[in-house]
Amino acid sequence: MASRKVLLLFAFTLLLSSSAVVSRTVSSEFTTSVLNVSFVLQQALDILSIEPLEQEFVSLSAINSSSSSSFSLPLLSRDTIFKTQMKDYVALLNSRLARDSARVNSLRSKLSLALNQILPEDLSTPVVSGLSQGSGEYFSRIGVGTPPKQYYMTIDTGSDVNWIQCQPCSFSRCYQQSDPIYNPKLSSSYRSLGCNTQQCAALDRAGCSGTTCQYQVSYGDGSYTVGDFVTETLSFGNSGTVPNVAIGCGHNNQGLFAGAAGLIGLGGGKISLTRQVKAKSFSYCLVDRDSADSGSLEFNSAFPSDSVLAPLLKNPKLDTFYYVGLIGFSVGGKPVQIPPSVFALGSSGNGGVIVDCGTAISRLPTQAYVALRDSFRKYAGNLKSTSGFALFDTCYDFSGLSTVSVPTVSFLFSGGKSLNLPAKNYLVPVDSMGTFCFAFAPTRSSLSIIGNVQQQRTRVSYDLVNNRVGFAPSKC
């Protein structure tokens, strides 16, 4: 009997402790956010007619590969760089969602290959995605070579290998891009990498052509890039340069990259740009995808003082992805009943929550999504609901409204911190008439993804030394 009393006392103490944690992360009062319907719809109309921007990008300071100086470069959403050919916003959104599904499949494929230690099949017989809209949601203007030639490059936190389309490259072996294809013969800083170099050994998929290192990257949507692995000088504006960056010179590239000249990998692997410049931290702020404004990508800059901090976790099986210690959600300041184990990163590398700049719509395991969605529906009962759209099953009719008050949605992180999302970061337009949908989606995978819609207008900072992620709203 005495031991039973001790167990009951321990359970009661644990319950009180858990309640205290919840009370520190969520408000005791019901909370709402204001969605500026008119402003968001005007952006949706404007993006259809916007002319591509001509940008001269200037970095904040010069760096070299062994320094820890800070530098920055602007980021632009793809539809401000490559003029959309879509006739209306519905068509534009459908093309975005198609790219997004391909992106999610690519990330899951990469993780599955790592967990099962399977290498991609040889790409001598190309498998090309049928989508032609182009991949990548945020781009920057980066100089490649000496003297530098400027190219639009996709930034990607879910990839490690930097690469660019490279001559010689026939029409059948390269996709269409807006800039001229990079010609290594015109650069004095171009150097081939040998098969025995550290950079070559760091590739997941490497080969040799004589003594020259060959790289090969395939993506889960059927896209791929193959070519020589080399070093080049990258330039950021008129002053900042990074010599001897390992980069793929792609002679055979197909799939979802139309428009961009190549990709800058910001993942956690050994050959990503972040690792090659020995960055102690990096951060980005992504503007709304319908905005003509620019955000920024920064290296070694200080965290904003008002950042909401969360643990940065590491997957023992894959060092590319950035995992964050998410434990749940609140809606209207009230915690959603989701077991924290749903978001846990397992010792085998399964599960967990990654922060990804290339995925648009956040994906949650079905159990977590249903709980979050049902909670939002419950507290949004006064809003006029309408039929679903594409992957969205919770939509509302805000036509005729200038603004609307909606329940606040918040991320809850381990360590007792919460991040309130702006209303436009979880209610997105699906047409130009006033239909908005709840911007989360379910997945049968155990991997959760925080997408760029939820990250809009938020400075997301990665402290690579102290293993922290910071979120600071309105820091573009």
Cα–Cα distance measured from residue 327 to residue 319, given in angstroms and rounded to the nearest whole number: 21
Look up 221 and say whether it is catalytic: no
Measured CA to CA, the distance from residue 259 to residue 136 in angstroms comes to 9
The Cα–Cα gap between 7 and 465 comes to 41
Catalytic residue of the set 79, 156, 221, 290: 156
Residues 372 and 227: their CA atoms lie apart, in Å, by 45
Residue 180 has φ and ψ, to the nearest 5°, of -60, 145
Active-site residue (options: 100, 221, 288, 356): 356
CB 455 within 8 A of CB 355: yes
Specify whether the CB–CB gap between 407 and 31 falls below 8 A: yes
The contacts of residue 238 (CB under 8 Å, 6+ apart) are 58, 59
Rounded Cα distance, 430 and 93, in Å: 7
Q: How many CA atoms lie within 13 A of 178 on its CB side?
A: 18
Q: Rounded distance, CA 174 to CA 171, Å?
A: 5
Q: Which residue has the tokens 């956040």?
A: 362
- Residue 369 is which amino acid? Y
Terminal alpha carbon distance of the chain: 61
Is 290 annotated in the active site?
no
- Identify the three-state secondary structure at position 402: coil
Residue numbers annotated as active site: 156, 356
